[in-house]
Amino acid sequence: MVAAVLAGTAGLAVLGTVFVVLPAVVVDHDLAGAGVAAQDRLKAVNDVRTTLLQVLAGLVVLFGAYATWRQVRVSQESLRATQEGYVTDRFSRAVDQLGGDKLDVRIGGLHALRRIAEQSPRDRDAIISIQAAYLRTHLPWPPAGAGSPAADVAINDIPPLETRVADAQVALTGLGSLCRHREESWVNLSFTDLRRADCDGLGFPEVNFDRACMEAAGLYHANLTQASLVSVTLRHADLTTAILRRVRCVLADLRGAKMVETDLRDADFTETDLREANLRKADARGAVFHRADLRMTDLRGTDLSTADLAGARLTDALASERTRWPAGFDHSAAGVVDTEDPGPEPSPLLQPPGMTWQAPPLRSAP
């Protein structure tokens, strides 16, 4: 109390000195002993006081602005800390839900994680890793556990993933939505059972699908740029208008795959089985087909003008006048059959839905 009184007294003394004594001293200093009327001297002193008051008011405004800015910064930091604590709590509860016994609880946890990833970029890569691990552990390939269809079950006897393992389809959809905006380069989905999965329109750039089974999966207009597809199974998969630029798809099984108008530029299909695949109007410039099996493949309208077909087998493959071959390549000698161009492709809206689509039997031997 005494200190406050002393501080107040000292402040009043300073203000009194500044506004009572100092203006007169300044005026007398400026006059340098020159004689002026008392009225003029008083006006000059008052002018100095007015200027000092204006300076003081400006300082008060600046101090108030600084104090407000500091208060806003403190409030923002407090809000950020509160939000981070809230996100951490939501994250922990969502992860706990993934281990629940009830399907709807697990699905709710996966949706919560996706929502957190969309709102908190710093947690996005961690959530992507969790989703990928969830798929690898719940859908291993070859299948493990009594609830999973065996590896040798006919694909038409296997329900779509969204009805067979609904939570896994939710995780896959979330992963394909978040992978477009991640910082980490590789996401691991190798050795995963994705038979009849719905990946239409999703993005999986630089994702590792090595030795996964994606038989009859829907990948319409999906983005698999620079993905790794070593020894992957994509029999009867629908890759129409998908982007497979610079993918490494060696030693893979793509028999009967639909790759109409697909971007295959600079992809590597070394020793891949593409028998009976539909590559109509695909862009395969710069693609490598070393020792690939292209027998009975539909290549009508396909652009292979700069593709590497060294050692590729093309017996009974179909071509049309719109097919573009590498310079000097004799496709007739390779056993290619010239036929009519199919014309415009049917609208995807007219195609049978993936839920009821049946894979036709393959004529080629296993």
Q: List, run by run, the mean pLDDT of 10-residue segments along the chain (366 residues).
A: 62 60 62 63 68 76 81 69 67 90 95 91 92 96 88 95 96 93 83 96 96 97 97 97 98 97 98 98 98 98 98 98 96 96 81 79 85
78 Cβ contact list (under 8 Å, min separation 6):
none
Structure tokens at 33: 């002993």
The pTM assigned to this predicted structure is 0.78
DSSP character for 291?
T
Q: E strands of the chain, at which residues?
A: 187-188, 207-208, 318-319, 337-338
pLDDT at 168 (0 to 100): 97
Residue 53 has what pLDDT? Answer: 73
Distance CA 94, CA 86 (A): 12
Terminal C-alpha separation, the chain: 96
Place of tokens 């695949």: 277
- Going 329 to 333 to 336 to 338, the CA torsion angle's sign is positive
Q: How many CB atoms lie within 10 A of CB 44?
A: 18
What are the φ/ψ torsions at residue 140 (nearest 5 degrees)? -70, 150
Pairing of strands 337-338, 207-208: unpaired
Question: What pLDDT does 27 receive?
Answer: 59
113 neighbors 88 (Cβ within 8 angstroms): no
Give residue 105's pLDDT: 95
Residue among 245, 148, 146 nearest 195 (CA): 148
**How confident is the model at residue 167, as a pLDDT?**
97
Could you give the CA distance from residue 107 to residue 85 in angstroms, rounded to a whole number? 23
pLDDT at residue 202, as a whole number: 96
**pLDDT score for 2:** 63
Which residues sit opposite 218 in a β-bridge?
Answer: 198, 238
| Amino acid in the structure at residue 83 | Q
For residue 183, what pLDDT is reported? 73
